[in-house]
């Protein structure tokens, strides 16, 4: 590095002027035959200005060697932003959803064919033979004949699926207990029935109601 670049321009001009004068005088003396001593005296009187060069700038000190014991730099603290961050917890994804597939048509299930209507084979029960023969004047109680007691007894006979009586009830009294009792006894002994039938034609239990008129024969 050249340090002359920092010399004051004024001092440089003065030095150039003095050198020029010294050269002119020296030439003039040589031309006119002047004594060399005069030239020396003039040269001694000419004092060339010494340009003081400024001292070289001090070099910056070398950086200190790295030391692992140096404390770490303080963490950079970012001031909180006054604007709160957007809440993304409830944000919906922008990915478009595929449209739902239309439901497949379900063919209607054919209803099973209705069963053919069952013919109604029901029928009421009926007595076998003539019910008037189940009680006759020959069955009249002797005591009732002597006392000339008579009347009409209403009854109801229950029977099973075979047509045989299973019970007898007096529905209306003749006014005489012996005549009423005799009526049910005769029905249980002599009454027979063709049983009733249900819709399928099967025999079923039923009942039969009628009356017996007790009248003294003439």
Coil/strand/helix, residue 140: coil
Of residues 60 and 108, more confidence is placed in 108
Question: What separation in angstroms does the CA of 172 have from each of 24, 42, 175, 189, 210?
Answer: 190, 193, 9, 20, 10
Residue range 195-204: mean pLDDT, rounded? 92
How confident is the model at residue 1, as a pLDDT? 42
Residue range 157-171: mean pLDDT, rounded? 96
pLDDT band at 30 (very low <50, low <70, confident <90, very high): low
For helices 36-45 and 9-32, the axis angle rounded to 10 degrees is 170
Of residues 12 and 170, more confidence is placed in 170
To which H or E segment does residue 40 belong? Answer: helix 36-45
pLDDT band at 57 (very low <50, low <70, confident <90, very high): low
How confident is the model at residue 69, as a pLDDT? 54
How confident is the model at residue 161, as a pLDDT? 95
Most confident segment among 14-23, 26-35, 76-85, 146-155:
146-155
């Amino acid at each position: 590095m050249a340090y002359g670049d920092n010399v004051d321009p004024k001092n440089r001009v003065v030095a150039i002027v003095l050198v020029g004068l010294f050269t002119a005088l020296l030439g003039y003396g040589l031309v006119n035959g002047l004594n060399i001593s005069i030239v020396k005296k003039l040269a001694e009187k000419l004092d060339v200005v010494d340009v003081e060069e400024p001292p070289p700038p001090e070099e910056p000190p070398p950086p200190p060697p790295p030391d692992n014991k140096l404390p770490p730099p303080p963490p950079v603290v970012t001031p909180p932003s006054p604007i709160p961050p957007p809440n993304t917890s409830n944000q919906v994804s922008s990915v478009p959803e595929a449209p739902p597939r239309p439901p497949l048509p379900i063919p209607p299930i054919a209803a099973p064919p209705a069963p053919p209507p069952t013919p109604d084979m029901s029928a009421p029960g009926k007595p076998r033979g003539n019910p008037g023969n189940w009680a006759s004047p020959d069955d009249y109680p002797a005591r009732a004949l002597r006392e000339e007691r008579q009347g009409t007894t209403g009854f109801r006979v229950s029977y099973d699926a075979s047509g045989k009586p299973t019970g007898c009830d007096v529905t209306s009294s003749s006014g005489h207990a012996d005549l009423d009792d005799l009526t049910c006894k005769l029905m249980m002994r002599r009454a027979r029935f063709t049983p009733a039938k249900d819709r399928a034609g099967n025999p079923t239990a039923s009942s039969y109601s009628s009356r017996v008129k007790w009248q003294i024969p003439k």
